[in-house]
Amino acid sequence: MSNLSLLTFVLMALATYLTRIGGYLALRNRKLGPKATAIMDAAPGCVLISVLAPHFASGRPADMAALALTVVAASRLSMLPTVLVAVVSAGMMRNFA
């Protein structure tokens, strides 16, 4: 693993952790409704997606098709099946494209 990859990984983990702890510190004395709780639970994932999404803008048709399948899966399935769809679709699209 290159130093840049390691640094990127550490910074993404730090951003995810700070997002979690920041939300906790800012809202620890408040009672959140279900909608606000769902938003707070999704925030760290949004940080990760904002880092990964530009990679898929490469214009490779296989990656774009796999991304589209993953978005559809994410809107209908829980996390584990969505990850499986993402990995399998990306592998198959790259292999057959």
Strands (E), 1-97: none
- Tokens 């803008």 label which residue? 57
For residues 22 and 36, membership in a common domain is answered with yes
For residues 93 and 76, membership in a common domain is answered with yes
Contact 70, 82 (CB under 8 A): yes
Quick: pLDDT tens for 57-72: 667 888 888 888 888 8
For residues 8 and 41, membership in a common domain is answered with yes
For residues 8 and 47, membership in a common domain is answered with yes
Which residue range(s) make up the domain with 85? 58-97
What does residue 68 show for φ and ψ, rounded to 5 degrees? Answer: -65, -45
For residues 80 and 94, membership in a common domain is answered with yes
- pTM over 0.75? The answer is no
For residues 65 and 21, membership in a common domain is answered with no
* pLDDT for residue 61: 86
For residues 47 and 62, membership in a common domain is answered with no
Of the candidates 91, 87, 62, 85, the residue with the CA atom closest to the CA atom of residue 73: 85
Radius of gyration, CA atoms only, the chain = 16
For residues 37 and 66, membership in a common domain is answered with no
Percentage of the chain lying above the pLDDT 90 cut: 2
C-alpha neighbours within 13 Å on the C-beta side of residue 26: 8
Of the candidates 40, 97, 30, 18, the residue with the CA atom closest to the CA atom of residue 63: 97
For residues 30 and 14, membership in a common domain is answered with yes
* pLDDT for residue 48: 60
